[in-house]
Every structure is written in structure tokens, then in C-alpha cells.
Amino acid sequence: MARAMSLVDQIRGQINYVEIGTHAEEALLNFECPEFEKVAPSVVTNKMRSLKERVQNLAANSKRSYAGMVELVLKVEENIKNYEQEEEFEVSPEQITESREFLNKFLGNLKPDAADVVVGLLQGHTLAEVGEMKGFSRERARQIKEEAIDWLHGTRMYKE
């Protein structure tokens, strides 16, 4: 939190001092040198591009009105306050155990292909990847997933 407030203070301090002359801005924004890019390693050219983007952002910010920048800082401060006020979401070990038991019971009642599709999706794979692993199309994996969801919605287990 202290770091965020320090950042806000730094932004406030920079609002009044960011001034880039039009000639300097133009020179930096239009800088391109093919010879330099051939000789310099890609790391250096990437850093130059990053610096160029930062200068462009500073130039865009310097053209904003003081009132607009103050409004932006106030919005950041408000977001920080709102973040502090949000309650942390905690999951108890009992809830984790119940969820695992429910998932195991659910998967145990599915056909093997349907269980494999659901597990694959829960592991972060796409429908296409799951289908490829099981030897069928993305569309078939989607159909199997939908059948599993429909079956779940019709069970007493889901309604409890």
C-alpha cells in the first residue's frame, strides 16, 4: 500500500514537471536508423523501442490538462481505497474437501471419454487440444462437454 501511495505521489510530482519541447519530441519519435539496428543487438533495439514508446506516452500525457491529470490521480487513489476495502476471499479446507469429493463423484459417474474431456478442460486445455489427445474433433469434444453438463444439471447431486 505504501508503495502504491508513493507511486501516486510521484505521479503528482511529475504532472507539473513533464514538459517536452516539440523539436525534441519530434526528433525522438521519428528516430529510425537501419544501420544502428543492423549493428546493435536485438536487446538494445528493443530497449530503444521501449524508450521511444515511453517518450510517446510522456508526450501524450504532457498534452493533457492539469485538471485531467489530477482527475486521473484521484481515480487511482479511489481504486486503491476500494481495493483495500474488499474482503479477501478465503476457502476453508472443508470447502476444498467438499469440492474435491463432489468433483470425484461427478467424474466417477461419467463415461470415460466425458470424464477425460472435463479433466482436460479443468487442466486448462482447449477443446481442440482435448479432442486431439482423445482422437476426436474439437466439435465432438464440445458435444461431449455439453452432454456432461446437461447430465450434471439433471442429477440430484447438482440440486443439493
Q: What is the pLDDT of residues 104-124, one digit of tens each?
A: 887 888 888 988 998 888 888
Is 9 in the same domain as 59? yes
121 is in which domain, residue-wise?
93-159
Domain end point (choices 85, 110, 127): 85
pTM (two decimals)? 0.41
Q: Report how far Cα 141 is from the mean position of its chain's Cα atoms.
A: 27
The conformational region for residue 124 under phi > 0 = left, psi -120 to 50 = alpha, else beta, is: left
What does the pLDDT read at residue 16? Answer: 42
Cα gap 77→99, rounded to integer Å: 38
Return the minimum-mean-pLDDT range out of 82-86, 92-96, 129-133, 135-139: 82-86
Indicate the number of domains in the chain: 2
Is 16 in the same domain as 75? yes
Is 6 in the same domain as 72? yes
Q: Are 160 and 143 in contact (CB under 8 A)?
A: no
**Whether residue 6 has pLDDT greater than 70:** no
Is 81 in the same domain as 131? no
The conformational region for residue 80 under phi > 0 = left, psi -120 to 50 = alpha, else beta, is: alpha
Maximum distance among all Cα pairs of the chain, rounded to whole angstroms: 72
**Whether residue 85 has pLDDT greater than 60:** no
DSSP state of 110: S
CB 137: neighbour CB atoms within 10 A? 13
Q: How confident is residue 17, by pLDDT bands cut at 50, 70 and 90?
A: very low
Is 78 in the same domain as 97? no
- Residue among 110, 98, 99, 121 at smallest CA distance from 152: 110
76-97 mean pLDDT: 69
Q: By three-state DSSP, how is residue 64 classified?
A: coil
What does the pLDDT read at residue 152? Answer: 78
